[in-house]
Amino acid sequence: MGHDKLRKFAENESFGCLLQPSAQEVLARGFSQLQDHPVKGHWRERMFGGAEGELVLELGCGKGEYTLELARRNPDRCYVGVDIKGARLWRGAKTATEERLPNVAFLRTRIEFITAFFAPGEVSEIWLTFSDPQMKRENSRLSSPLFLERYRSFMKSGGVIHLKTDSRFLHEYTKAVVEQNGLRQLCCTPDLYGSDAPVPEAVREVQTFYERMFLDMGLPITYLSFVIDHDGPYRYPEFDAAFWRAAEGPRRSFSHQAPKKDSRG
């Protein structure tokens, strides 16, 4: 492991806004019965000084650019960025600490463990920003019925999920899930910046490093938002994965290669 990563991991221990539970702690009773973390149901008291604002998650937040900017724009809400990569979270946690942002926290964990950290009705919104489309593993897609079941366990009635992605494959798959389960769709556009679709202000104005890179490459950005409420189990859609994989082509592997200048963190 490089010295720079070791330095970041060590500094992570000093950030009060960064929670880093061990996998062993969460898996003490096995994957089928995750061990609840003490922060579950107590995020506002433990991480946000008793603030009463709505709790919003960004799953797969990377360096936390989206989480941080949403928090700056909405000081009355509490934001939690979730990712497994400690070296990436270091950047977000360091910025939040330096700017003394009281409404930002970060959680280092696998998103598969998310139900161990949030209680029923604790979360109002979820942002999925440029998630890996997992073209060959449906249950690994963050908008799959499996994950929607997890989110529903801790989201408020009327809770909203935002999906912003450069992957038409993931966009179309998620739209199919929404339609299959009769979920209320709030907005859907296959070309966010090439249309006048009515979207929340932050959807167009807040951009990550990779999003700007995709736009510079001429790749369209898609957006979809929907309400998660649903009675009964979520159903899997009929989805032509082979067609959309072919339509998307090889650009994902190319577009997700970080430029060398970004490797210094």
What rounded mean pLDDT belongs to the chain? 92
Residue-level pLDDT at 1 = 63
- Which of the residue ranges 1-5, 110-114, 249-253 would you say has the lowest mean pLDDT? 249-253
Residue 2, pLDDT above cutoff 70: yes
Cα-based angle 101, 107, 111 (whole degrees, multiple of 5): 140
Residue 174, pLDDT above cutoff 60: yes
Residue-level pLDDT at 4 = 86
Residue 182, pLDDT above cutoff 50: yes
How far is it, in rounded angstroms, from Cα 60 to Cα 21? 16
Residue 263, pLDDT above cutoff 50: no
Active site residues: 132
The pLDDT of 230-258, averaged and rounded, is 79
**Both tokens of residue 88?**
């990436």
**Both tokens of residue 239?**
């989805």
The interaxial angle of helices 86-98 and 65-73, nearest 10 deg, is: 30
pLDDT in tens, 141-163: 999 999 999 999 999 999 999 99
DSSP conformational letter for 113? G
Instruction: Extract the runs of DSSP E, i.e. beta strands, from 17-170.
Output: 18-19, 55-59, 78-83, 104-108, 123-129, 155-165
**Both tokens of residue 211?**
């999003």
Q: Are 84 and 26 in contact (CB under 8 A)?
A: no
Instruction: Extract the runs of DSSP E, i.e. beta strands, from 130-236.
Output: 155-165, 185-189, 222-227
CB atoms under 10 Å from CB of 85, counted, come to 13
Instruction: Tell me if the domain spanning 3-262 has CATH number 3.40.50.300.
Output: no
Which spans in 99-154 are helix H? 145-152
